[in-house]
Structure formats: structure tokens, C-alpha cells
Amino acid sequence: MDRYPCDVCANVLDGIRAAAQGRFDVIGVVMDGTLSQLGSILRALRKSTSARIVLLAQMHEEPIARRLVTADPEEEKRADAYVICPLRLASFCTQPGPGEGPQTPETPSAGPEETVSAELERRIRHLERLATTDDLTGLKNRRYIREFAGQILEQARGTGGRVTLLVFDIDNFKHYNDVYGHATGDEILRQAAILVRRCCRPHDVVGRIGGDEFAVVFWDDPYRVGGDVERDRRSAAAEHPTEAISVAKRFQKEFGNADLHLLGPAGEGVLTISGGLASFPRDGETVEQLFEKADLALLDAKRRGKNRIYLVGEPQSDIAEIE
């Protein structure tokens, strides 16, 4: 604590008062349990201090944290950076990359020990990112998706929220690899990642879970612009959320219209995907159950001719047939 001095406040009001009275370089705001007041908390901190504001987020809160540190050009950022908990105090006091954690002012007279420590911390954070990110597409990897989904399901059990899992892969992907080479196959995967991100909502989490297989976790965003929580009061036992189906339809259409110039002048046909949708709690109560049901729906879509996304447990359930 002597090397990384900090004050810890037991509640939000004490923290805002301390921020106004003290001289701090960085102020950390624990997101867990504060979502209903987070907007007003951040506004109050902005008014009371010039210190950098860093959100301390759980993995399932990362989409919200990312949005809060990315401001529109017309408005001020609500926070300057975020870090994923648990974290070491040294992480909070050193300098990770932009938007990925706190950035403190440089220390001109840093000695050799401080320089070595900062470099070690930078490398540790780099390895942490590699452990959760797919290096080819930049999407989250299988490990992250499963951990995130587990946290979101735990939250949904207590709030009546809804979670829908989409699992999809690229039809005949092996053919593209064999005919055009692995470099072209990799480019197709990167383009698929860009397209699915573009079609999804900001808080939905997209990952590559292996080979040409991808997953999207759709969930009820507990934080709305304006700083208020608006829980979706619709029954969690209802049909598959229309938002997830709408996103899946849009992605399927855009992917089918993708430019095939990367396949060369002889490139013919269209790129298509097949997938399966499974929802909590209707189709499963755990991450494993949702993946199992979504995978079964994907296989059913493949057997019925590909280029389709199926819902779980319903014959003739291609989402293209849903109005």
C-alpha cells in the first residue's frame, strides 16, 4: 500500500465527497451493484474532480463499460477507461493501452525498478488479452464466450432477464480453403467477423469458438443511454426474443451479399451460413445446455439444405419463415 497509495470508500456518497476534497490521479468506480445509479454517479464525479475515472467491471459488464468510455463526438465521455476485475493494484496504477484500463500521468523520474515493473505489467496485460481474444478475427474466443455466458445466465436468473445463444458456421468452408487456399479462408473468417459485429447491437458479445464456427450471446441490456436501468419486464419464458432473430436475419442477408472479389475472377456463388438459436430458460438452464441445443439446431439446418438458421425444437423452424 505504501507503493500504490489509495483510499477506499464504503459507499458512493463518501466516494464523491472524497473525490471533491482530495487530489487524486485516478478514481475507480465499482460497477457491480451501481448500474441503476451509474449515470448520475459518473456525472457527479465529472463535476467534482479532474481525475481520470476508471470503471472496475466484471466480465459480463464489459460491453456496458466499453460503451461508457467511447463517447460520441458531441458529448463528453462518461469514463476514461475500464479494467476487468479481479485485478492487481499494480494494474490499476500502471499504464495499459487506451480504452482497456487506467492511464495515469507519466512519471518523468521513474527509476529502473519502476520501469521494469511497468514493462512486466504491460506484458501481463497483453497475455491476459491473448487469453480472451481470437488473434485472427479480433473477436472474443471460446473461453471468454463461455465464461461471459455463464455470468450473464447467473444474472438473468436473479433479474428475469433473457439470454439467447446463436451458434453458426460458414457453409462449405472447407471447399474455400481447399480451392483458394488458407489465406483466402482466413480472410473470409475476418470478413465474417466484421459483418456479424456490424449487425449486432453494441452490448451483444460475438466470438469465434473454433475453425469457422462463431457464437453470439444476445442479452437484455441492463443499462440504457441516460444512465437509467430499464429491465425488460417481458416474461423470460416467452418465445425467442425478436431482437436476436432480427439480428440473425440481417447478418444472414448481408453475408449472402458479401463481395467475392477475394475469391478471384473465377469466384462464383454466394457465401452462406447455417446456425441454431437457443434461449434461456426455454431451451436450457446452463451454458452447456444452450450450446448443446444450439448445436443440434445448427446440425438440423445443415441436414435440411444449409443457408438457414433454425430455432430449437421446432420442425420447419427456419427464421426466414418468421414474420
> Cα–Cα distance between 10 and 306 in angstroms, integer?
55
- Which residue is it, cell 490521479? 25
In Å, what is the CA distance from 223 to each residue of 67, 148, 317? Answer: 10, 17, 32
- 321 secondary structure, DSSP code: G
The dihedral region occupied by 109, where left means phi > 0, alpha psi between -120 and 50, and beta the remainder, is: alpha
80, 212, 220, 300: the active-site residue: 212
Q: Which amino acid is at 204?
A: D
The answer for 210, left when phi > 0, alpha when psi is -120 to 50, beta otherwise, is: left
Q: Is 169 part of the annotated catalytic residue set?
A: no
Provide the residue type at 280 as one letter: F
In order, the DSSP letters of 14-52 are: HHHHHHHHS--SEEEEE-TTTGGGHHHHHHHHHHH--SE
Could you write out the DSSP letters of every residue in 163-176?
Answer: EEEEEEEETTHHHH
The DSSP symbol for 261 reads G
Cα pseudo-dihedral 203, 171, 285, 236, rounded to 10: 50
**H helical segments located in the chain:** 12-21, 38-48, 62-68, 89-93, 112-132, 142-159, 173-180, 182-199, 242-256, 287-303
Give me 74's grid cell.
Answer: 458531441
Active-site amino acid positions: 212
